[in-house]
Amino acid sequence: MITEDGEISKSIFEIIYLAIEEEYELFEFSAFIRDGYLETKLWITSGGICTAIVKNNINYAILCDLIEDLKARGMLRGDDWRSFTMTYVYGGQVKVKFEY
């Protein structure tokens, strides 16, 4: 099951990575599970300046489905996270941190 989580996380990363139109050194994407809805935030850092990304090409319908799948798979293991943050330094590794 954890392997499937990795595949879902990879798909989430690809959607975000391909949607950012500006050049950046780092991006940070957060998803918060709320009562009945999902809140997301996307930030990039470029030239030492952190900026919220409002315009992007993210397909939120697909993204939300993937996040719901990730949450459901975690719940099957008793992993009841409330939010996660995905951080990517351009050319480096993707890091995912879950908040409980």
Over residues 31-49, the pLDDT tens digits come to 999 988 899 999 999 999 9
Instruction: Give the pLDDT of residue 22.
Output: 86
Instruction: Give the pLDDT of residue 1.
Output: 53
When the pLDDT of each residue in the chain is averaged and rounded to a whole number, the result is 92
Full domain range(s) for residue 65: 2-99
Q: What CATH number does the domain containing 28 carry?
A: 3.30.500.20
Sheet strand arrangement including 37-46: 49-52, 37-46, 26-34, 83-89, 94-99
Instruction: Give the pLDDT of residue 56.
Output: 78
Residue 21: pLDDT band with limits 50, 70, 90: confident
Of 12, 1, 15, residue with least CA distance to 84: 12
Instruction: Give the pLDDT of residue 75.
Output: 94
Q: CA–CA distance from 26 to each of 46, 70, 89, 96 (Å)?
A: 7, 23, 4, 14
Q: CA 91, CA 83: separation in Å to the nearest integer? A: 25
Domain count, the chain: 1
Name the pTM for this structure. 0.90
